[in-house]
Amino acid sequence: ALQLLASSAGFTDSLSKLHYKPTANFNGRDLITLTLVTTTGSVTETLNVQVTPVNDPPVIALSTSLLVAREDPEPQPLPLGITDPDLQETPGARLTVHLILAQADSGSLLLRQLAADDSNTTTPRQWWGNASASLILEGDVDDIHDLLAATVLAPALNWNG
């Protein structure tokens, strides 16, 4: 609640400087109730506010801007993560992530086989998928997090650059 005490001219000037700012990620209906009290009485008016949703852009999170991989074919985990506030708020929403190596001969993108209980990520796992310079991951936000955690770069033998 906001209370203004002012003369008539000061009150009008003060009202003209008020701005409405909804809380982050709020959308829907809101109300502003204005009550004016004078020595002769009071009057109340209500202003309906409709806050429209905004499509927040997805975010790609890199834990490092440089991945150093050895030239032997030992797969290297990718330092990637994604977030999309709108999809996290929408049950069943799906997204697609495209991973593309800029130099196709530098290696391959592979997925580590996901096990039912994959809590021990230091244990060697089988790799599946065709060796490819590009990979398309599709699923809900949790699926994509799991798939990104399982995606590795397998450098090409004797490649450097």
3-state per-residue secondary structure call for the chain: CCCCCCCHHHHHHHHHCCCCCCCCCCCEEEEEEEEEEECCEEEEEEEEEEECCCCCCCEEEECCCCCCCCCCCCCEECCEEEECHHHHCCCCCCEEEEEECCCHHHEEEEEECCCCCCCCCCCCCCEEEEEECEEEEEECHHHHHHHHHHEEEEECCCCCC
pLDDT value at residue 122: 40
pTM of the model: 0.56
pLDDT for 6: 66
Q: If the chain, 161 residues long, is cut into consecutive pieces of 10 residues, what is the mean pLDDT of each piece?
A: 68 79 90 86 92 85 72 72 77 82 78 57 45 78 81 75 66
User: What is residue 48's predicted lDDT score, i.e. its pLDDT?
Assistant: 95
Instruction: Report the pLDDT value the prediction gives residue 95, as an integer from 0 to 100.
Output: 83
Residue 76 pLDDT: 74
pLDDT of residue 115: 54
